[in-house]
Amino acid sequence: MIRMADGTTQPYAVFLPERYDAKQAWPLVVFLHGSGESGADGIRQTQVGLGPFISHYRKFCPFIAVFPQSPNYKIWFRGAEARVVFAIIERVQKDYHVDPDRIYLTGISMGGFGTWEMAMMRPDLFAAIVPVCGGGPVEAVGNLKEMPIWAFHGASDDRVPVENTRRLIERLKQLGADPKYTEFPMLGHMCWDDAYATKGLFPWLLKQKLPPPPTVMRLELDLTWSSIPTTVRWLRIDAAEPGAKLMRVAAAITSATTVQIESEGVGALTLLPERFPGAASAGQPAAMTVAWQNRVAYKGPWRAEITMGRATTRPARRGADAPMAP
C-alpha cells in the first residue's frame, strides 16, 4: 500500500523471482491492468495478464514485477493515477535492488493505453514497453522514437479497435523507428495470454537497457501527471513556478565543466554531475559553470548536486534533439 501526499492510499502487489538476491540489481517489469481489474483489494490486478504468466512460468521469470491497481475503471492511468504509478515505481526501487537501466512497462486494454501514454510522459524511465490491445495519442508518439517497443493486438478486437495500434506503429515507422508488432489474425480483445506467451518476448525484453545518458536533454513535464521533484537522468526538477501547468527544459552539457539550461515554468532545479555521460571514468572537474536563461546561475567547485533557485521564465527552444512529439 502506498500513501500519497494528499492522504489517499492505493494498493499494489510485488513479485520477487525465486532466486532474488538483494546484493544484485534486478530488472523491474511494471504491469498495468485492464478496467475489469480496477478496485482496492490489491489482488485482482494480479489475476489477469502478466500475473497468470508468472504463475505458470515462475522459474523463467528472472525479474521483479509490480502490479499497481487503479481504483477507477474509467481512467487510463492518467493524471493522478499516473502519478501514483510513478510513485510506486520509486517505492519499489527503494525497497528492492532494481536496475535503473532495466525498468519495463507493459499493460493490457486500459493498461495498454496506460503503457503507451506513460511511456510518452517519461521516455527516460523505461528501457522498453510492451503494450497489448491499447492505444494512445499519435501526435505524441514521437517521444518514443528511440524506445524499443513490441506491441500486440487482436485483429478482431471489438472493444479497442486494432487501428489504434496500427496507427501508432505506422507513425513510428514514418519517424524512422523500428518497433516490433504482432497482430493476431484470429483473436479479439482478450489476446494477452497469447501475447505474453509469444516465443522470445521476455528474452527480448530483458535484453533492453536504457542508452547512456545524453549530453542534450529536452523535457516536457505536465503538472497534471508529473510528480515534483522529478529526476530525469542528470537533472532534477525541484519546483515549478507559481501558476505553471507545464514545465519545459532544454539542457546541454557543452563541455566537461559547463552546462547550459533554458526553461519555461521551472522554479528550481538540481544538476547531478555524477550522472553525466562518462562521469565515472572522467573523474571530478575542479570547477563547474552553469548558465540558466543565459545567466550564470552557478560558478564554483564541483559538487555531486548543484541546486539552483528560480530563474527568469523564457520559453525553451525546441530542436531536433527533443524527445518530444514532432
**Domain ranges across the chain:** 2-207, 216-308
| Cα 239 to Cα 308: distance, rounded to the nearest angstrom | 10
Rg, the chain, Cα only: 20
| Cα 216 to Cα 30: distance, rounded to the nearest angstrom | 27
Q: Are 235 and 251 in contact (CB under 8 A)?
A: yes
Of the ranges 39-53, 112-126, 272-286, which is most confident? 39-53
> What pLDDT score does 83 carry?
83
Average pLDDT taken over every residue of the chain: 88
Q: Is the pLDDT of residue 306 over 90?
A: yes
Least confident span in 9-13, 108-112, 154-158, 264-268: 9-13
> What pLDDT score does 320 carry?
32
| Cα 43 to Cα 51: distance, rounded to the nearest angstrom | 10
* pTM exceeds cut of 0.85: no
> Hey, what's the torsion of the CAs at 216, 222, 225, 231, to 10 degrees?
30
> What pLDDT score does 282 carry?
64
Q: Is the pLDDT of residue 313 over 80?
A: no
> What pLDDT score does 81 carry?
83
Domain 2-207 of CATH type 3.40.50.1820: yes
Q: Is the pLDDT of residue 89 over 90?
A: yes
Spatial CB neighbours of 189, under 8 Å, sequence gap ≥ 6 = 109, 133, 154, 157, 158, 159, 160
Spatial CB neighbours of 206, under 8 Å, sequence gap ≥ 6 = 27, 62, 63, 102
Spatial CB neighbours of 127, under 8 Å, sequence gap ≥ 6 = 101, 102, 103, 104, 147, 148, 208, 209, 210
pLDDT digits (tens, 9 = 90+) for 1-26: 787 666 777 899 999 999 999 999 99
In the chain, pLDDT over 90 holds for what percent of residues?
A: 64
Q: Looking at residues 41-69, what average pLDDT do you find? A: 96
| Residue 325 confidence class, pLDDT cut points 50, 70, 90 | very low
pLDDT digits (tens, 9 = 90+) for 137-147: 898 888 898 89
Q: Looking at residues 55-67, what average pLDDT do you find? A: 95
> What pLDDT score does 319 carry?
37
| Cα 269 to Cα 266: distance, rounded to the nearest angstrom | 7
pLDDT digits (tens, 9 = 90+) for 217-229: 877 777 766 667 7
